[in-house]
Amino acid sequence: MVLLFLVDLARELFGLFAGTIPPFVLLEVAIFLLSLKIVWMIHLQMKLHHFQFWILNSLDFQVNELSRRMRVLEHRAEQRGVTPARRAAKGRTRPS
């Protein structure tokens, strides 16, 4: 992009490439390259969002799995008659 700007500036100031390059060709090429850069940046942003979604989805799955395990363990403890409140009242931290 900078090179195109310098070539266009030299063409305007010094009359270089006067007969070979039409006046708006460099401008059109610069706009095209800028459009490609914007598309490339959008593509990279989409990849980043996909990666973030994948990580957050994985974390959500693990949290849900741990929550399910906790419910199962609490249900088993209730069936045995051992609840966290009863253990704390007895002064024990683990069931015997």
Higher-confidence residue of 84 and 36: namely: 36
Instruction: Read off the pLDDT band of 58 (50, 70, 90).
Output: very high
Higher-confidence residue of 60 and 85: namely: 60
Give the span between the Cα atoms of 49 and 16, in whole angstroms. 46
- pLDDT surpassing 70 at residue 45: yes
Q: What is the pLDDT of residue 66?
A: 96
Write the DSSP string, the chain: -HHHHHHHHHHHHH-TTTTTS-TTHHHHHHHHHHHHHHHHHHHHHHHHHHHHHHHHHHHHHHHHHHHHHHHHHHHHHHHHT--HHHHHHHT-SS--
Higher-confidence residue of 78 and 11: namely: 78
Please count the structural domains in the chain.
1
Quick check: is 95 in a domain? no
Q: What is the pLDDT of residue 28?
A: 85
Task: Write out the residue range of the structural domain in which residue 52 sits.
Answer: 2-90
